[in-house]
Amino acid sequence: MTTSHKELELVSVTKRYGATVAVDAIHHKFQPGGYACLLGPSGCGKSSTLRMIAGHEIVSDGSILLGGSDISDLPPAKRGTAMMFQNYALFPHLSVADNVAFSLKMRGEDRQTRLAKAGEMLELVDLSALSDRLPDQLSGGQQQRVALARALITRPDVLLLDEPLSALDPFLRIRMRGELRRLQRELGISFVHVTHGQDEALALADEIVVMNNAVIEQAGSARDVFNAPRTAFVAQFIGGHNVIALPQGHFAIRTDAVGIGDPSAGGMEGSILAVEYQGAHVAVSARVAGDQEVSAMVPEAQFFTNPFNPGDPVGLIWDDANLHKLTA
């Protein structure tokens, strides 16, 4: 497999549907050969962005560059991108091998060559044994691997994945997640993966691009985004954070950096709203002054040395060094 390090760049990319702006002049340079996740709630413009990169939506304004050349006006197959669709979009009337070899057939390669190449691709995704089956006869995970093989057979520089794991059950989702990561490392090409699941993005991505309301809220490595969310939206969406309004401004603090103690011991006073046992941790939520809700992830052993019940008064303690100032 060839390793491609063409850089994908969005320059002021805009998508308008009539009067509504789905994507508002976003700029971003994706890491070449990296695994990027576009993360955001539904309707934030992440899918439109992906579809514009793929060429299935016309860019209203701005440019998409791949390896320095503008691909915004090229047809999907000429861009060096390949897309894996959310529901896989396998052709129901074609066998697994014919599905994978579809693009080669369109190019006019003869049957022998294209089936040989499809065989190689199926080996890569570990499906050689099922090449004569129809898509209907495969499980969800198998269908997904066929879709992957079909997208990769054109040897794209960038693979675009539109919520690839959303149709799978939770157990399979975690397994396929590992498989996607392995494939990306082996192939060394850029993956751009759209998802609304923060756990998926954190687990997979070298680079997370958080979108909201048609703009990019924050982009950076998974650790950077998680540990230093720039806005209240990012802090809340990425999870594991409290957003607290203090006299000095808005701050984010990780829920596992919040401790609980007796109100007499100091800290911010509040009353317990709910206690949820989660195994390693106990999730405690408390209401504090100003009608704000603060959650704390307390290690299990520590919680049960001095347990609290809903309604109890509590003091919430944290190290001010863990407070992280938000810009918005």
Partner 1 sequence: MALPIMAVLVFFLVLPIAMIVVVSFWQATEFSIIPAFDFENYQFLFGSNVTYRVFLNTFKYALITWAFTLGIGFTVAYFLAFHVRSLTWQVVLFLLCTIPFWTSNIIRMISWIPFLGRNGIANSTLISWGVIDAPLDWLLFSDFAVILAFVHLYTLFMVVPIFNTMMRIDKSLIEAARDAGATGAQILWNVIIPLTKPGMMIGTIFVVTLVMGDFITVRFMSGSQSANVGRLISNDIALLAYPSASATAVVLLLTVLIVIGILLRFVDIRKEL
Query: Given the rule CB under 8 A, which residues bind partner 1?
Result: 54-56, 75-78, 82-83, 85-87, 89-93, 102-103, 105-107, 150-151, 154
Minimum CB distance to partner 1, residue 56 (Å): 5
Residue from 267, 253, 246 nearest 297 by CA: 253
| Of the candidates 89, 83, 41, 75, the residue with the CA atom closest to the CA atom of residue 193 | 83
Between 82 and 323, name the residue whose CB sits nearer to partner 1.
Answer: 82
Q: Are 198 and 46 in contact (CB under 8 A)?
A: no
**Measured between alpha carbons, how far is 269 from 312 in angstroms, rounded to an integer?**
11
Q: CB of residue 106 vs partner 1: minimum separation in angstroms?
A: 5
3-state helix, strand, coil in the chain (%, to 5): 35, 35, 35
Instruction: Please check whether residue 4 is in contact with residue 188, taking contact to mean a CB–CB distance below 8 angstroms.
Output: yes
Q: Least distance in Å: CB of 92 to partner 1?
A: 7
Closest to partner 1 by CB, 54 or 323: 54
What minimum distance in Å lies between the beta carbon of 41 and partner 1?
Answer: 22
To the nearest whole angstrom, how small is the minimum distance from the Cβ of residue 209 to partner 1?
Answer: 22
DSSP code for 240: S
Q: Which is nearer to partner 1, 12 or 87 (CB)?
A: 87
Q: Are 67 and 13 in contact (CB under 8 A)?
A: no
**Residues in contact with 104: Cβ distance below 8 Å, sequence separation at least 6, in sequence order:** 113, 114, 117, 118, 153
Residue nearer to partner 1 on the CB measure, 149 or 288 = 149
79 vs 241 by CB, closer to partner 1: 79
Closest-CA residue to 227 (of 258, 260, 252): 252
Strand 61-66 with 35-39, pairing: unpaired
Please, which residue, 76 or 188, has the CB nearer to partner 1? 76
Residue placing its CB nearer to partner 1 in the complex, 114 or 254? 114
Instruction: Output the six-digit token pair for 271.
Output: 């009353």
User: Rounded to the nearest whole angstrom, what is the least distance from the CB of residue 94 to partner 1 in the complex?
Assistant: 8
Give me the least distance between CB of 282 and partner 1, in Å please: 44
Distance, CA of 204 to CA of 218 (rounded, Å):
17
